[in-house]
Amino acid sequence: MSNENITTIHEFDFNLICEFFLNIPRQGPGSPEVTLKALSFIDNLTDQSVIADIGCGTGGQTMVMAQHTPGHISGFDIFPAFIDRFNDNARKLNVQNRVKGIVRSMENLPFKDEELDLIWSEGAIYNIGFERGFTEWRKFLKPGGYIAVTETSWFTEQRPAEIEKYCKPHFPEINTISHKVAQIQKAGYMPVASFILPTTCWTDHYFTPLIKAQEVFLEKYAGNKTAEEFIALQNKDIAMYNTYKDFYGYVFYIAKKVEY
Ligand code: SAH
């Protein structure tokens, strides 16, 4: 689910939006390959590890993690329909005993201090804010625990005015990779890795299923202004990304909690 939709979400019917995003395998750019690449930087996970996937959506990335990591994973999302689908997906993969979806806001997570080995959050930390998320969630991590998130970032120091203007209201915290890494370090972490997600994470893995879902959705809600406007905004996102993908996109940031 892209930020453009979030900033204008009040204008839409939440149920309509939920219904739309339930019909696609992931609610933001990403891919199984990229999830595994990020996971490759994380060591020391065991059967006893406790992992949180924050803003998990229907669990596209969580299920990939579940198949490649030991330990218990809790997925958190505010939309109950996403969590229902998440738990269905866990049952289908027969991992329901160690992978559970919970309806909960990322601003109010149910953990004690130093309980988590790993915090995961793909395409969702912007909902609480990048700096705020890194700062507030740190206490939940064990010393030596990891955090891995994706966040919209600038790839260059200078950008065409049109994309600068388009992104700023939608991604108020958008900044360069070096700025984000400095924020991570200031928040008390060791930056372990950061890498740009390939464009296929947007096109093949996100836009292609999105466009397919749009057809079904527009047919069902033909004449519904809200639905049409919602899809028009998505198409604007897609057009902007296709034009300006050299200048911005998602970056995976992986960091480790260090004690001082
Ligand atoms: N991680 C998933 C979903 C990304 S979309 C993926 O990559 O496919 C962002 C998700 O954050 C949505 O599922 C949305 O419902 C959720 N979200 C938004 N605000 C939230 C909040 N305050 N607490 C928890 N989840 C939230």
Task: Indicate if the pLDDT at residue 11 is higher than 60.
Answer: no
Task: Supply 216's token pair.
Answer: 């079904």
Q: What is the 3-state secondary structure (H, E, C) of the chain?
A: CCHHHHHCHHHCCHHHHHHHHHCCCCCCCCCHHHHHHHHCCCCCCCCCCEEEEECCCCCHHHHHHHHHCCCEEEEEECCHHHHHHHHHHHHHCCCCCCEEEEECCCCCCCCCCCCEEEEEECCCHHHCCHHHHHHHHHHHEEEEEEEEEEEEEECCCCCCHHHHHHHHHHCCCCCEHHHHHHHHHHCCEEEEEEEECCHHHCHHHHHHHHHHHHHHHHHHCCCCHHHHHHHHHHHHHHHHHHHHCCCEEEEEEEEEECCC
Phi, psi of 11 (to 5 degrees): -80, -15
- Residue ranges per structural domain of the chain: 25-198+246-257
Q: Which atom of ligand 1 is nearest to the CA of 30?
A: 7
* 17-68 pLDDT per residue, tens: 899 999 899 999 999 999 999 999 999 899 999 999 999 999 999 999 999 9
* 166-183 pLDDT per residue, tens: 999 989 999 999 999 999
Whether 153 and 177 have beta carbons less than 8 Å apart is answered as yes
The Å distance, Cα 19 to ligand 1 centre, comes to 14
Q: Is 101 in the pocket of ligand 1 (CB under 6 A)?
A: no
Task: Indicate if the pLDDT at residue 259 is higher than 90.
Answer: no
Residue with tokens 């198409």: 235
Task: Indicate if the pLDDT at residue 7 is higher than 50.
Answer: no
Q: Whose CA is nearest to atom 18 of ligand 1?
A: 127
* 91-141 pLDDT per residue, tens: 999 999 999 999 999 999 999 999 999 999 999 999 999 999 999 999 999
Whether 86 and 75 have beta carbons less than 8 Å apart is answered as yes
Q: Which atom of ligand 1 is nearest to the CA of 57?
A: 13
Q: Is 178 in the pocket of ligand 1 (CB under 6 A)?
A: no
Whether 231 and 211 have beta carbons less than 8 Å apart is answered as no
What's the topology of domain 25-198+246-257? Rossmann fold (3.40.50)
Q: Is 127 in the pocket of ligand 1 (CB under 6 A)?
A: yes
* 199-216 pLDDT per residue, tens: 999 999 999 999 999 999
Q: Is 5 in the pocket of ligand 1 (CB under 6 A)?
A: no
Whether 90 and 63 have beta carbons less than 8 Å apart is answered as yes
d(CA 80, CA 161): 39
Mutational pocket test of ligand 1: of 56, 111, 206, the residue with most ligand atoms within 8 Å of the beta carbon: 56
pLDDT in the model for residue 4: 46
